[in-house]
């Protein structure tokens, strides 16, 4: 399958992210992003969207996941995959600065807040975070913690950093945080 085929499949097959696939591709194009960090790949639905946008800007996707690389038939030159924990200092050090950081990992409040606070240092002013599952009250496999843990982490992070954020409610929600200067 080509990248175009993977994108068409991801954008047309109902999943928990399929409605966001065209949006993330367009976000890359609109921002003229050349480097995106994707924290959490699972089956590669979001990956196909990021790669499609980056194909138009000549950019590279850097993905990190605890699980092995998803089986997508796309070229290796524009996609770098690291299997590991995104909070591991060695993994963090291996990643470049980025125009966009996408977070779709455990959805636990503490993990999400830690990722925001750490990966803030990979984003220059004018970059953005994109986080999936802002409208998920109790994500599967997440233990005790606040309801809507991703949204709650975003709200605290933005309050502390004086950043603005917006939310796309469909497909369990997609939060976009505009990053200002350090």
Q: 68, 60, 71: which is closest to 84 by C-alpha? A: 68
Q: Express as a percent the part of the chain with pLDDT over 70.
A: 98
Distance CA 20, CA 131 (A): 11
* pLDDT tens for each residue of 39-80: 999 999 999 999 999 999 999 999 999 999 998 877 666 999
Owner of token pair 């600065």 = 97
Q: What is the pLDDT of residue 141?
A: 87
Alpha-carbon span 6 to 58, nearest angstrom: 18
pLDDT > 90: what percent of the chain? Answer: 89
The CATH number given to whatever domain includes residue 41 is 3.40.50.150
Q: What is the mean pLDDT of residues 138-157?
A: 94
| Predicted local confidence at residue 76, as pLDDT | 66
Strand partners, 39: 64, 103
- Using the CB atoms, write b or e for 134-167: b if 16+ within 10 Å: bbbeebeebeebeebbbbbbbebbbeeeebebee
CA-based nearest residue to 122, from 156, 146, 98: 98
pTM: predicted TM-score of the whole model, two decimal places: 0.96
Task: Flag whether pLDDT at 22 surpasses 90.
Answer: yes
- Overall residue count recorded for the chain in this entry: 182
Tens digits of per-residue pLDDT, 82-104?
A: 999 999 999 999 999 999 999 99
134 in helix, strand or coil?
A: coil
Q: What band does 161 get if pLDDT is binned at 50, 70 and 90?
A: very high
Mean pLDDT of the chain: 95
3-state helix, strand, coil in the chain (%, to 5): 40, 20, 40
Structure confidence at residue 79 (pLDDT): 94
If phi > 0 it is left, if psi is from -120 to 50 it is alpha, else beta; for residue 12 that is alpha
The count of domains in the chain is 1
Per DSSP bridges, beta strands 100-103 and 128-132 are parallel
Q: Which domain holds residue 169?
A: 3-178
Quote the tokens at residue 55: 């194909």
With a cut of 80, say whether residue 171 has pLDDT above it. yes
């Amino acid at each position: 399958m080509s990248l175009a085929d993977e994108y068409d499949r991801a954008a047309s097959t109902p999943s928990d992210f399929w409605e966001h696939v065209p949006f993330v591709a367009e976000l890359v194009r609109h921002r003229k992003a050349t480097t995106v960090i994707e924290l959490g790949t699972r089956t590669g639905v979001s990956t196909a969207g990021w790669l499609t946008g980056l194909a138009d800007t000549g950019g590279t996707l850097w993905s990190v996941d605890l699980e092995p690389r998803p089986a997508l038939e796309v070229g290796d030159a524009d996609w770098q995959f690291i299997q590991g924990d995104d909070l591991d200092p060695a993994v963090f050090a291996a990643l470049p600065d980025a125009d966009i950081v996408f977070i779709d990992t455990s959805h636990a409040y503490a993990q999400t807040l830690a990722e925001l606070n750490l990966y803030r240092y990979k984003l220059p002013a004018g970059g953005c975070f994109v986080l999936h599952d802002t409208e998920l009250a109790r994500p599967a496999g997440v233990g005790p913690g606040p309801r809507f843990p991703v949204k709650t982490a975003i709200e605290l992070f933005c309050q502390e950093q004086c950043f603005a954020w917006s939310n796309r409610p469909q497909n369990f929600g997609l939060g976009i945080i505009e990053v200002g200067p350090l």
